[in-house]
Amino acid sequence: MSDPLDEGLRACAEALRENRTDADALAGEARRRAAARDDLNAFVSLDTRVPARSAHASPLAGVPFAQKDNFCTAGLRTTCASRMLDGFVPPYESAVGERLQAAGAVSIGKTNLDEFAMGSSNETSHYGPVRNPWDPTRVPGGSSGGSAAAVAAGIVPFATGSDTGGSVRQPAAFCGVTGLKPTYGRVSRWGLIAYASSLDCPGVLARSAEDCACVLGAIAGHDPRDATSAARPAEDYLAALDAPLAGLRIGVARPYFGAGVEAGVGAAVQAALAEYERLGARLVEIDLPHAHLAIPAYYVIAPAEASSNLARYDGVRFGHRCAHPRSLEDLYTRSRAEGFGAEVRRRILIGTFALSAGYYDAYYLSAQKARRLIAGDFDAAFAQVDLIAGPTAPTTAFALGEKSADPLAMAAADVNTVAVNLAGLPALSIPAGLHAGLPVGLQLIAPAFAEARLLAAAHRFQQATDWHRRRPGGRP
């Protein structure tokens, strides 16, 4: 039985074109599945707004999708999975949501996430953790855990995510789906609620690189409302998918296979790289000498920016307000203490400390210097190779609760993803194997604005393998 929602975007577009279904039926079925899979806790809200009918022929026309609940939706609650924004109804739509809906895609709901996108397991959500469709005792990864679970469970063919340090790629790896983080500035951040503005990047979770290419084509492009939006025009990412792999130089990044990488994960990724070699690519060992600085630099810079961005939640203009404030200071402190969860408060404290007089040079400035060195490593590597590869995450999905009491162990889940955000590069994660019945992700990284090359390399792999077609519970 063909099941277009489960098969992906392309299958939905075909079913629509051949009149085997229509947009209302697909959206209705996606909403029904979202409700039926309540056990996953992947959704914070369903979107029942009536979509505007779009007349033009886009491959997205009539295709349902879900949006991470940190993308503002006009007239529909947007929470960032925080008590702070539990009742917040934005007056406008994010640029990403706007462009997808202008192309005819139908938004069916808002997905759960780590609070303000801070986390690697989707356990810091005010609305409770999301469960991994492959094993409900395990985390889906984070922070776009709801989006990854919704795609993996066949509820929607694609969903939006945001990636500040790995939040699209790592949950994609844990849930066995394809996750794309574009170049910083390629996709507008307008209406994406800010976490760390120099790192935040809207992204896509879908069944395949081809489906990601289709969505990227709709959301990429200049937006004057985002000051860091790149002026260069978007490309035809679908047309570029068939670029041959022959002669492509893939840098195998030694540090990405370091201590902490589970043997089964390393083996699956090595097998995927061998497949690339069979398909004509050339593997080149490379080093990224400052890779070990990525986690410490990220966990200074991201909280520093967050402490500034989250200063706006003061209980005055919007968001949670405490009852019966006794003074202005009491209003600020109690509203923020009640509205933010423990992880968000921890980040605000660390970030404020790192930026404070006397510590700024020691922490924030040093982290910025490390960031420059990390970006320089990538520049040097891309003088020799076309793409860089490694495991997306060092382990497969871990058990709920396993790391929640240990922030350092949690941070280690991002050891291979955060450097990409520090350098502003595009990267993706594709399903590359199974280890003990759980998905393993292969991360590919490209030079800035080389999304077409990245997607083509992933597409070629997916034409030759079927890891992206595997389903939880052995479903075909």
CA dist 140 and 401 (Å) reads 12
Tokens of 194: 């800010």
CA distance 210 to 458: 8
Quote the CA–CA distance of 435 and 21 in Å, as a whole number: 37
167 binds ligand GLN (CB under 6 A): yes
The answer to whether residue 120 forms part of the interface with ligand GLN (CB under 6 A) is yes
Q: Which stretch binds ligand GLN (CB under 6 A): 8-16, 60-68, 114-122, 327-335?
A: 114-122
Residues 397-426 that bind ligand GLN (CB under 6 A): 414
Question: Which segment (156-164, 204-212, 213-221, 432-440) binds ligand GLN by CB under 6 A?
Answer: 156-164
CB of 118 to ligand GLN, least distance (A): 5
Pick one of 166, 315, 424, 426: the residue that binds ligand GLN (CB under 6 A).
Answer: 166
CB burial readout 65-101, b (16+ within 10 A) else e: bbbbbbbbbeebbbbbbbbbbbebebeebbbbbbbbb
Written in H, E and C, the secondary structure of 239-294 is HHHHCCCCCCEEEEEHHHHCCCCCHHHHHHHHHHHHHHHHCCCEEEEECCCCHHHH
Q: Which stretch binds ligand GLN (CB under 6 A): 84-92, 117-125, 275-283, 424-432?
A: 117-125
Q: Give me the catalytic one of 167, 208, 229, 335.
A: 167
Q: Are strands 387-391 and 438-445 parallel, antiparallel or unpaired?
A: antiparallel
Residue 369 annotated among the catalytic residues of the structure: no
Nearest residue relative to ligand GLN (C-beta): 167
215: left (phi over 0), alpha (psi -120 to 50) or beta: alpha
Binding to ligand GLN (CB under 6 A): which residues in 195-214? Answer: 195
Please tell me whether residue 164 binds ligand GLN under the rule CB under 6 A.
Answer: yes
Figure out which of the listed residues 44, 219, 300, 302 binds ligand GLN, where binding follows CB under 6 A.
302
Of positions 109, 145, 157, 165, contacts ligand GLN by CB under 6 A: 165
Q: Which residue has the tokens 């033009």?
A: 56
> For ligand GLN, which is the closer residue by CB, 37 or 138?
138
**Active-site annotation holds for 167:** yes
- Measured from the CB atom, the residue of 101 and 121 that comes closer to ligand GLN is 121
Rule CB under 6 A: which residues touch ligand GLN?
Answer: 117-120, 143, 162-167, 195, 302, 414
